[in-house]
A and B are shown apart, each in its own frame.
Chain A
Amino acid sequence: MRFDEQPSRRDFLRQAGNGFGSMAAAWLLLDQGALLADDPTDPLSPKVPHFPTRARRVISLFMHGGPSHLETFDPKPDLQRLAGQPLPESFGPVATRRKVAHNPLLATKRSFRQCGQSGIAVSDFLPHTSALVDDLAVIRSCWADSVNHPQAVYQMNTGSTFMGRPSLGSWVGYGLGTENRDLPAFVVLPDPAGGIKGGPPAYGAGYLPASYQGTVVRGGDSPILDLRPPEGMSPTRQRKALDLIGALNARHLEARGEDSELEARIRAYELAYRMQSAAPDAVDLSGETEETRRLYGLDQPSTAEFGSRCLLARRLVERGVRFVQLYSGDVNGWDAHDDVEKNHSAMCARTDKPVAALLIDLKRRGLLDDTLVIWGGEFGRMPMSEGGKGRDHNPHGFCCWMAGAGVKGGTVHGSTDAVGLRAEQDRVHVHDLHATILHLMGLEHTRLTFPHNGREERLTETSGRVIREILA
């Protein structure tokens, strides 16, 4: 082959068929990008967005259980004033999970302080995040449809309160493919303390092809299911087996003529082989500097766990993973029914520093320019008390924030009513959040569709409005 010739697939396969060892050699000759780009048989090959955009990757920080807006990003002086009294009649009937509608209003024990240049008020539960408030667009007027965890978790992830719809990460993978084929396109980092309410369907692909679903990645030497060769199988032996498979597959293909599916499967084996070294490398934090480890709080027991996953998220987006989702909180997580003060002081202590570290680290590496970071839960919490110290679920009004690529930092969008019960001004439904996130990724939410049982389905169902006010 001449130096200026791109090896064709046929050449590659012919060479692979020549015997052991040459398969690997053939692969080294190939430019991975050239082989994989825009390949119709490869569902995850990179695709051109609907319009040019800055954001190329997403990190979603999902505070499972429903973090209280009233204790974090939404100061409500009237709530402090009316504490102990029932919700004024003028607010009308309220749908709740645990019948707290007539309970007295509960003041927050937190104090809010205006931070940064923008002067956005943030609670003292979040000293590290509040220092970065000029990078955040805080949306204080979110609302959703269900007072129940599984439905709300599904909706925040898939747009629908029913189970079995594709998740945001799947839609993004479907719309954009992925840049690094040695790692999954959509990675989920669950809280090691336990699963989420509603389970893996929250990051499932629904009716999209399975290749778009979230892949759970853990730390350690087997971060992905079945990544390690079976015990006793040496790398040499595995390579030898792979070469035999490659040689037999090449002959099989040769006899059958061009077949993109068979070729794709041949490539999948080499990709799997490369994943075996790429994935453990991606999750190996030992090469990180002491300064970085301290930044993420890896040296402190309260922050070490979530800090490790935030650092892991950075390493993954750095390697071109399209969508990384981290869950904070076990089965109960931020679900502060009993004592919001106690629950949230623990949850904030675990996450505040790592989240801030992630933003700082992304920024100093230039990654925040093309990475979108989202923080939020499935809903917020009620201004009324539950059992004196706790707060029930509140999908009627809550907050989230976005930062990074394409987001106008230091902005507040929308507001809740006087006591923080319902989103009032510039209301932002979950569909609007999703439309905005897709927009930031260069995808027009009404055009990103998939035919299923007679409908052209989309993430935003039949609505969705891009929140232009928070775009940079």
Chain B
Amino acid sequence: VRRTLPGLLLLVSAASSLGGDATHRAFVPPKRAAMPAVKEAGWARNFIDAFVLARLEAEGLRHAPEADRPTLLRRLSFDLIGLPPSPEEVAAFEADRSPDAFEKQVDRLLASQRYGERQAQHWLDLARYADTDGFEFDEARPDAWRYRDWVVNAFNADMPYDRFVALQLAGDELEPEDPDAVVATGFNRCYPDMVDLNDQGLRRQNALDDIAETTSLTFLGLTMGCARCHDHKFDPISQVDFYRLQAFFTPARFRDDYPLLAPADRAALEAKLDAWKRSMAEAQAEILKLEAPARSKVAPGRPPGIDDQAISAWEKDPADRSPEEVALVFEAALKDKRVDARGLLEALGPEEKIRRVELLAELERRKRGRPAPPRLARVIDEPGPDPAPTFLRKRGDYYVKGTEVRPGFPSVLSSADPEVRSLPRSSGRRSALAAWLTRPDHPLTSRVIVNRVWQWHFGRGLVATPSDFGLMGEPPSHPELLDRLALELVDRGWSLKAVHRLIVTSATYRQSSRKLEAEAQADPDNRLLWHHARRRLDGEAIRDALLDVSGRLNRSIGGPGVFPELPAELTRLSGKGKAWPVSTNAEDRNRRSLYVFTRRNLRYPFFEAFDRPDTNASCPKRAVTTIAPQALSLLNGKLAVDCAKALAERVDREAGPDRTSRVDRAYRLALGRGPDVAERELALAFLAGDDQVPLADFCLSLLNVNEFVYID
């Protein structure tokens, strides 16, 4: 007989009876609930466990026992750094008998540079990050990766979350002197973009719509996108609210060429560039002067087909030309179709010819002296302090202007007008939004992010709809726990690493994934956390694990996206390889999955098979499906097959010729544990078959078993 969960049902009805007003639980600041009394007080390691256990005890359910150490370390390692533990790390942990052995592992992993890479993967799903525009031409965004690297670094430095939010929204306003902070605003530039849309105003409006929706989903956990066209059907969010939120962003200038230089360096670089242009112009003017008589002999007058600017430059007295005009005239002369090289040379005297060669060489020398251009970033900033007005668009239609709206917060959360203070080169609007969002008493910001972190560890958030805390979202399974975590985040200086540490050191997190019969009957979805739910790794982590266990993973950090090999049939379809120029340096092809170029119109097929989202909209939670193409890619795909071979070579190297040692080593590398007796027998029988199967086949099999892609 299946028992029901009256408590849960109560919770659902309580939330829906609140109606569409500001008393909805998620719209009032988190409250600190008293620690609940529990019978099995000895089990709890921190407050998380008290809240979880209280619910379990109230329902008469048990909790699972603690997982064994290899399992625990594998889980922790994948969760925090996205990579499996090495056999040596597992052995060290198993051997460590100190009471804080697990905590030491947590600290080690939180301090790893791999931590930021793993957490960034989650964040980039929310940011709908991609390296291309999408649509027809799907052009690369050459500098998009700087934002990706900023996210990695921010996680690694444990940048306080309030700062993390503020910089992504308004880094240019808050820290105009700090190029790194401006890079953070790249968050707002990740939208898919039809660059050649006929109406560029509509193109900009589409981007602004996307920015407003993504901002509300990601930071507020509210689904305001529907309010673009009409008042929200379920949440107390009006169409005006949507455009008021959008108004924070309407002054923004979308820049793909933001120079990554401190202001002082920028001035210096500009001065250098000016000097260089002048010196180029001098050399060009010399050549023009020398050639002038010959040119007017061969082809008098100005060259045909040059544009207005070049015409005006041509007509000027050479002494009056600016360096830019000299360059235009020089280029026009160079491309003059009426003059061929031989004709020109024939018209020159012998001394002039020699002089000309010298001058050309000098020009070439100066050309090479061009100051290195600054690195650029894809960001937003603003052209000045006085923005143009923002208008509501009726039914979401760009062409139907409604009333003017001022920036403002969703009215259900705040009735106050934002305090916008304009800055020398900016409206200050986004700073005001950031300040409001990161208020310590903000009801959503802290709840939404701790819930996400929870989901990254348990596969499901305390609120199972992580970007929808509104009335249609699922009510929290443990509301007091959610509130407490949110308060702890703020109390601990918005440190996400602190929240990770709280979660993973809890007894709740350390439970085994094994099923308990009665509990599985009563709560099949594990909402009450009576065990640790088994989870399949995402495609990025599977690829990283394949590369890592086979010893091929290139651990370098950051930089432009890389292109691992693609199956030939895909390369052919993608414009003769132009869309996917396979990295020439073979080592680059083995970089972590985070660094694989994200092309909107050509998802890396291995990731695509394993449910990678399409990056066209903010994705708070990935689907997990099990389909045959996944098996095909792990069995037959070049990546898996190459990794199996490399793993076999590694096993051969590290374990020697003895079959039993080989099996043992392969198990420890691939699965983080040794084989049991039966598994060893199966493996030995496999390797000893009458037809002597290669060790690589055994390794490939291990890389394909469920245990390799699931974490207990």
Contact = CB atoms under 8 A, between A and B. Distances in A.
B467 to A, nearest CB: 6
B635 to A, nearest CB: 7
B378 to A, nearest CB: 19
Interface string B127-139: 0000000111010
Interface in A244-275: 244-245, 247-249, 251-253, 256-259, 261-262, 264-266, 268-269, 271-272, 275
B705 A201 contact: no
B142 interface: no
A230 interface: yes
B515 A257 contact: yes
A226 B710 contact: no
Size bin of chain B's contact surface: 35 or more
A199 B603 CA distance: 11
B194 A454 contact: no
Contacts of A90: none
Interface stretch (A103-111, A206-214, A414-422, A430-438): A206-214
B686 A199 contact: no
Q: Is the interface of A mostly helix, strand, loop or mixed?
A: loop
Given A229-B635, A248-B701, A269-B704, A240 B617 contact: no
Given A201-B600, A201-B614, A226-B637, A268 B135 contact: no
A190 interface: yes
Contact of B625 (A209, A242, A266): A209
A379 to B, nearest CB: 14
Contact of B223 (A229, A256, A455): A455
Given A244-B682, A253-B706, A453-B467, A269 B192 contact: no
A150 B629 contact: no
Given A195-B574, A211-B627, A218-B569, A261 B641 contact: no
Given A244-B701, A248-B679, A252-B706, A265 B626 contact: yes
A190 B570 CA distance: 12
B628 to A, nearest CB: 4
A237 interface: yes
A455 B467 CA distance: 12
A85 interface: no
A413 B514 CA distance: 61
A306 to B, nearest CB: 17
Contact of A225 (B470, B629, B710): B629
Given A163-B192, A265-B706, A226 B569 contact: no
B602 A200 contact: yes
B530 to A, nearest CB: 14
B706 A262 contact: yes
Nearest to B472: A454
B625 A241 contact: no
A236 B702 CA distance: 18
A27 to B, nearest CB: 14
A210 B612 contact: yes
Contacts of B616: 162-164, 201, 206
Given A222-B569, A275-B632, A453-B225, A150 B135 contact: yes
Nearest to B574: A195
B617 A226 contact: no
A43 B192 CA distance: 28
Contacts of B468: 453-454
B678 interface: yes
Contact of B136 (A149, A209, A226, A248): A149
Contacts of B322: none
A252 B710 CA distance: 11
6 nearest CB pairs, A to B: A454-B223, A164-B616, A199-B601, A272-B631, A209-B623, A150-B136
Interface of A: 19-20, 41-44, 95, 97, 147-151, 162-164, 181, 184, 190, 194-195, 197-201, 204-211, 213, 215-216, 218, 222, 224-230, 233, 236-238, 240-242, 244-245, 247-249, 251-253, 256-259, 261-262, 264-266, 268-269, 271-272, 275-276, 452-455, 462
Given A245-B704, A259-B534, A454-B235, 16 more contacts: A149-B136, A184-B629, A198-B601, A225-B567, A227-B632, A228-B636, A233-B697, A240-B689, A241-B697, A249-B705, A256-B515, A269-B704, A453-B223, A454-B222, A454-B225, A462-B229
30 contacts: A44-B627, A95-B198, A151-B135, A198-B135, A199-B601, A201-B600, A206-B614, A209-B623, A210-B611, A210-B627, A226-B629, A226-B632, A237-B693, A240-B686, A240-B689, A241-B697, A244-B683, A248-B702, A248-B705, A249-B705, A252-B705, A261-B710, A262-B710, A265-B536, A272-B628, A272-B631, A453-B217, A453-B223, A453-B620, A454-B468
